[in-house]
A = this chain, B = another copy of it.
Amino acid sequence: MPAHFQLLQTDSTTAARRGVLQTRHGAIQTPIFMPVGTQGTVKAITPVHLREIGAQIILGNTYHLNLRPGSDLIRELGGLHRFMGWDGPILTDSGGFQVFSLAKLRDIREDGVAFQSHIDGAKLFLGPREVMTIQQNLGSDIAMVLDECPPWPCEREACARAVERSFRWAKQCKEYATDSGFLADGHHVFAIVQGSTFDDLRRQAAESLAELDFPGYAVGGVSVGEPEPEMLKQVGATTPYLPANKPRYTMGLGTPPQLLKMIALGVDMFDCVLPTRVARNGLVFTPDGPLNLRNEKFRSDPRPIVEGMENYTATFSRAYLRHLTIAGEMLSGTLLTIHNLHFFLDLMAQARTHIEQGDFGSWHQAWIGRYEAGATARLAGSIQ
């Protein structure tokens, strides 16, 4: 059997990697950004729009989909791909993170997490078997193990307990996925490395999970409130201990500069609600930092959001997009989501090209420099 992940190239001045990940629904060129489709739709756009802007893989949220409409129903209707009309790869999270952030009255036990639905208060339980069954029902191409994500900051002892429990759950998840034939069918299961700010706990978690030989690894417990330098430090303290021949994924981040910094640390996969969420409030990304289209200065601006970007939104003027946003029209959310996701996907495409060309190190620093200079200048009101 050929390896499901092929490492094509590694950058000489950073840890950036260029790879290809094979899934049941096609190959993914890495580094890659995954648009988030929480409730069975990437908010405000269609699967056709996703294809047009080059999306290779999207993310679905197990917690949400299992509460509504239910993973049994989705299985009965042919799986999540067919349900939502997306025939490319889908990664699903385990649902554990949302139990911690959204659910009421959660109770962490050795065998899993008992909680109440945030929608109707129903009493529910997620353990390793449950999260794997749900993700199997959804037909996920990449399923995530159940883990315990410690808060930031946290005490060392509590963190160590979370790491140990997460290891046991990961092991059980892999066993269930093996026994059920999920792995043998070409689905992937990724482990998640916790450890908060404790480098030795992160190393220990990474090395012990690596021994279990998962198809991929996520760096978890980042982007949970810690400052950016701390986040980068944690990722940098983890990736060296992950197997080079497996894809690496940081969950739930980040800004465009953060993505590039993560790639430089050897991360291959990202997901974040940032580009879709802010689009619905009129914020758009450009190489010179974000723009708030509600600003009066765009009132009669005939230019597209970013000159030279080719997507459907680029056929409209900033003035029109501002009008739609101010008028509260749904089409604003659709068009700005198309732009923002394309911007993130295009940034990943540029990163892949520069890793291939061997100049990722200098390119990504220059890119971040321009982006942050533009954002700073705009904050200071000095850019027209």
Question: Does any Cβ of B come within 8 Å of A44's Cβ?
Answer: yes
What CA separation (Å) do A326 and B320 show in the bound complex? Answer: 31
A317, A329, A333 interface centre (most CB from chain B within 10 Å): A329
Count of interface residues, chain A, beta-carbon cutoff 8 Å = 36
Is B77 a contact partner of A312 (Cβ separation < 8 A)? Answer: no
Is A323 a contact partner of B40 (Cβ separation < 8 A)? Answer: yes
A191-229 contacts to B, CB under 8 A, are none
A324-370 contacts to B, CB under 8 A, are 324, 326-327, 329-331, 333-335
What CA separation (Å) do A223 and B253 show in the bound complex? Answer: 52
Residues of B within 8 A of A312 (CB): 46, 48
What CA separation (Å) do A333 and B41 show in the bound complex? Answer: 12
What CA separation (Å) do A333 and B332 show in the bound complex? Answer: 13
Question: Does any Cβ of B come within 8 Å of A45's Cβ?
Answer: yes
Is A330 a contact partner of B327 (Cβ separation < 8 A)? Answer: no
Residues of B within 8 A of A24 (CB): none
What CA separation (Å) do A84 and B317 show in the bound complex? Answer: 9
What CA separation (Å) do A330 and B40 show in the bound complex? Answer: 12
- Residues of A whose CB lies within 8 Å of any CB of B are 39-41, 43-46, 48, 68-69, 73, 76-77, 83-85, 299-300, 302, 312, 315-317, 319-320, 322-324, 326-327, 329-331, 333-335
16 new A-B contacts, CB < 8 A, other than A40-B327, A40-B329, A68-B323, are: A40-B320, A40-B324, A41-B329, A43-B329, A44-B331, A68-B327, A69-B299, A69-B323, A77-B319, A77-B320, A83-B317, A83-B319, A83-B320, A84-B320, A85-B315, A330-B330
